[in-house]
Structure 1
Amino acid sequence: MSTNLPSAGALSLTAAAVLLAAASASALEIKSGTDKVNVELYGQLNRAVMYADDGKDSKFFHVDNDNSSSRVGLNGKIDATESLTIGSNFELEWQANPSNLVSMEQETISGEFEERLLDIYFACKKTGKFSIGKGKMASEDSSEVDLSGTSLAGLSDVAKVGGGIKFNGPASLDPTVDKDGKIVDNRLSVGSVFNNMDGLAKKNRVRYDTPKFGGFSLAAAAGEKSMNDAALLYAGDLAGTKVEGALAWGDFGDDKPYSQINGSLSVLFPMGLNLTFASGSRDLDKMPAGGDDPKFMYGKVGYICNNIFSVGSTAISADYSVDENIKRQNKDEKGTAYGVQFVQKLSAYSTELFAAYKNYQLEDNTNVDYDDIVVVMSGARFKF
């Protein structure tokens, strides 16, 4: 007897349809007896055209901007008491041709719905916030604090734009075919050379956030595969200057045998000038092969102007990143990236236009002369 089971793609589409139908039926408000649950549907589409030149070939790609992926979600919450709010967040992501994964060898990558958040939280004004489910670990986003207004076009994770493009060198590094007819390609991609060590990502976990004290708060989380992390967060206004920062520590547990420390700081001055810095390092003492600890440093200078165009603010920035020993700790690997970003808001239309230029360079102790990689991306994000 045969049984026809729905495919993963069909299940994903069904889940998305249920999500949208529930939001439409709710009319943003669901009442049950004397209780009232507020429901909010939200989402965004973020599409772009990307051009990449690896020194030997060049190609145009139609991509989903991985700096802020296309997604849809539902927020629900109820004010249980004057001081206690109970809520949830259900969010799905859809990316066709992610900008960090497409390559000269794979121009098309089919999209499918994947869960980003399946989270329940209990927030109390006096005691803090407790979360359970799939959501951000405490260290998530700790390398990506950015007040430049251009993170949509480029942030400290520089490999989100062109991360799948590979570095070329002499002909001896070109892909070959082994005796079984399989392609052997040992070239390094942008994504394997650059990594901003942005915490432990989103996992199934429990998390606790303290209330804010003078702009500071603490967060700690324990997740699947024995992962755990903690972060010190700050957001405040100092004499008209906006300051945000994060400092985090994380242990990857059973998933990876190392820990890391990372953080970022961003300052926005009243006149629109802004500065952003991020850095991180991994401790490989538990790694069998050892090697030099991977680390990265990132800097950005930008300017936000509110009166160039009447449709919304205009933000521009330039950034620079140095990443060392990310992939090959025993070859003194060093990646250098610099870029320029532009974001124009169309405030009345919930839309932003963006453009980015990136140049990636690689060097190591093998005396190989790698070609630079140049990537240009431009597109739009629409939010609802």
Structure 2
Amino acid sequence: MSGLVLAALAIGPASARDRIFDISTFSEDTEDWRTLRLFTGQTITFYGLISPIVLNYDDGLVSRTYAPVGNSNKTSRLGFRWRIRSFGDWSPIARVEIGLSARPSKEVSLLEPGTNTWSIKDGDLRKLEIIVKHPKYGAFSFGQGSMATHGITEVDYSKTDSASKSNVGRIVASQILRNSDGTLASAEVGAFIDNFDGSNITGTYSDGSRKMRLRYDSPAYRGFALSVALGNEVLRDDAEANADAALTYEADFGDYKLATGLGYSWQSDTRILSGSASVLHEPTGFNLTAAMGHERGGGNFVYLKAGVLRSQWKMGETALALDYYRGDNIYTGGSMAASYGLSFVQFFDRLNLQGYALVRSFDFKQPGASYENSLAVMTGLRWEF
């Protein structure tokens, strides 16, 4: 074990290009319409992501298409960052970000198809925070934002996260399972599947581990970085205090890029240990990703993905990936969920646009119940600015 640690320390940290672990912001300062420069010299940078999809879900008996709906893998959002005047080497940044609820795919179902109206709900406040960064002492974050373990099971070099992530049931979380006798069950897809992403405890409508919190991120040292946070969910009435910690590592090994993270989260009687790792061979574009997680006294999951990146056309990279998920004892003792997915993403670099598609099968088992297999097919666009 000590030999592995020494070998890792001997390798330099990953280059800034395509870093996975970066708490800075969704968008850097630009010289175009996104950035306004105040008379005091500070800048306000606006950013956003729009990701509509067409979703078809076949529960084994009934097939229904929902269009358009929001991609719950990558929630549509708008935000801005205000770079406040620095004092010494300390650089404060204020950030506000809201999600746009245009009928999220995780909330639609055969019984609740939803409406095509754009709205902003209480739960859509994603970020309302101040980040103070120092090159030597790290970054301190105050306010509504990501806990330390947010994204810890979604480390992924495949560039297919718009279509497929380790929480494979998120895009169809509210869809109702179909009993083998043809009747609708009481259970939903999201109850059987979780990726234990930090403090994101099992829940149909969960969307990451963002809370009103105090967070610290250490500077990276030879690729290693430590993050800790203490916070509380203020957007729900049943909120509980939560603390977590994460250790991440990212480095280049010649032609290979490696990123991995391990996190531990505790909330009342719940304890979560989870993490993920991804490796990319840059000359061929071949990549492998794995994620695992366990809840004390509860369920566990494993996720595997193999992908390839190609630059076949001048317009941008093409990403293709095949993945597998299995979760046990997440819904009830003895329950099981398995899923296979095939995802495709085409980048259009000049437009900051992605086109993507996903085909995903689901298999659910539970003692005393028998369910039909189901299938989800999704196509969509993702535009970032």
CA separation of 1:27 and 1:145: change in aligned 2, threshold 3 A: closer
What is the distance in 2 between the residues matched to 1:369 and 1:27? Answer: 55
| 1:93 alignment partner, one of 90, 99, 109 | 99
What is the distance in 2 between the residues matched to 1:96 and 1:129? Answer: 33
What is the distance in 1 between the residues matched to 2:96 and 2:211? Answer: 14
CA separation of 1:373 and 1:91: change in aligned 2, threshold 3 A: same
What is the distance in 2 between the residues matched to 1:156 and 1:96? Answer: 23
Q: Who is 1:197 aligned against?
A: 196
**Correspondences of 1:45-124 after superposition (within 5 Å):** 45-62=50-67, 63-78=69-84, 80-81=86-87, 83-109=89-115, 110-113=117-120, 114-124=124-134
Residue 321 (structure 2) pairs with residue 321 (structure 1)? no
**Correspondences of 1:349-360 after superposition (within 5 Å):** 349-360=351-362
Give CA deviations for 1:259-305 in whole Å, capped at 9, x if unaligned.
Answer: 11000001111210000000000013xxxxxxxx2000000000000
Q: Give the secondary-structure state (helix, strand or coil) at the position aligned to 2:186.
A: coil
Supply the AA of the counterpart residue of 1:132: F
* Contact 2:84/2:94 (8 A) holds in 1: no
Q: Who is 1:283 aligned against?
A: 296
Supply the AA of the counterpart residue of 1:268: L
| 1:304 alignment partner, one of 305, 309, 319 | 309
| 1:174 alignment partner, one of 152, 174, 183 | 183
Q: Who is 1:290 aligned against?
A: none
1:111 Cα deviation after fit = 4.1
CA separation of 1:136 and 1:242: change in aligned 2, threshold 3 A: same
What is the distance in 2 between the residues matched to 1:106 and 1:302? Answer: 35
| 1:336 alignment partner, one of 335, 338, 342 | 338
Which entry has the higher C-alpha Rg, 1 or 2?
Answer: 1
* Contact 2:152/2:261 (8 A) holds in 1: yes
Supply the AA of the counterpart residue of 1:78: I
Q: Who is 1:362 aligned against?
A: 364
Q: Give the secondary-structure state (helix, strand or coil) at the position aligned to 1:192.
A: helix
* Contact 2:83/2:93 (8 A) holds in 1: yes
Give CA deviations for 1:178-223 in whole Å, capped at 9, x if unaligned.
Answer: xxxxxxxx52211111100111200000000111000110000011
Q: TM-score of the superposition, structure 1-length normalised? A: 0.83
What is the distance in 1 between the residues matched to 2:331 and 2:367? Answer: 14
Q: Give the secondary-structure state (helix, strand or coil) at the position aligned to 1:100.
A: helix
| 2:276 alignment partner, one of 238, 261, 264 | 264
Residue 172 (structure 2) pairs with residue 162 (structure 1)? yes
Identity %, equivalent residues = 30
1:235 Cα deviation after fit = 1.6
What is the distance in 1 between the residues matched to 2:85 and 2:316? Answer: 35
Q: Give the secondary-structure state (helix, strand or coil) at the position aligned to 2:102.
A: coil
What is the distance in 2 between the residues matched to 1:78 and 1:310? Answer: 39
Of 48-57 and 295-304, deviating more is 48-57
Residue 349 (structure 2) pairs with residue 347 (structure 1)? yes
Give CA deviations for 1:280-337 in whole Å, capped at 9, x if unaligned.
Answer: 00013xxxxxxxx20000000000001x2221100000000000111112xx001000
How well do the aligned residues superpose, as a CA RMSD in angstroms?
Answer: 1.7
Q: Give the secondary-structure state (helix, strand or coil) at the position aligned to 1:188.
A: strand
CA separation of 1:27 and 1:213: change in aligned 2, threshold 3 A: closer
Q: Who is 1:377 aligned against?
A: 378
What is the distance in 1 between the residues matched to 2:85 and 2:290? Answer: 38
Structure 1: runs of 5+ lacking an equivalent: 1-23, 176-185, 285-292
What is the distance in 1 between the residues matched to 2:169 and 2:346? Answer: 22
What is the distance in 2 between the residues matched to 1:115 and 1:161? Answer: 20
Q: Who is 2:204 aligned against?
A: none
Q: Give the secondary-structure state (helix, strand or coil) at the position aligned to 1:205.
A: strand
What is the distance in 2 between the residues matched to 1:31 and 1:80? Answer: 15
1:79 Cα deviation after fit = 5.3
What is the distance in 2 between the residues matched to 1:376 and 1:95? Answer: 21
1:27 Cα deviation after fit = 5.5
1:357 Cα deviation after fit = 0.4
CA separation of 1:25 and 1:364: change in aligned 2, threshold 3 A: closer
Structure 2: runs of 5+ lacking an equivalent: 1-31, 200-208, 233-239
Q: Give the secondary-structure state (helix, strand or coil) at the position aligned to 1:191.
A: helix
* Contact 2:130/2:143 (8 A) holds in 1: yes
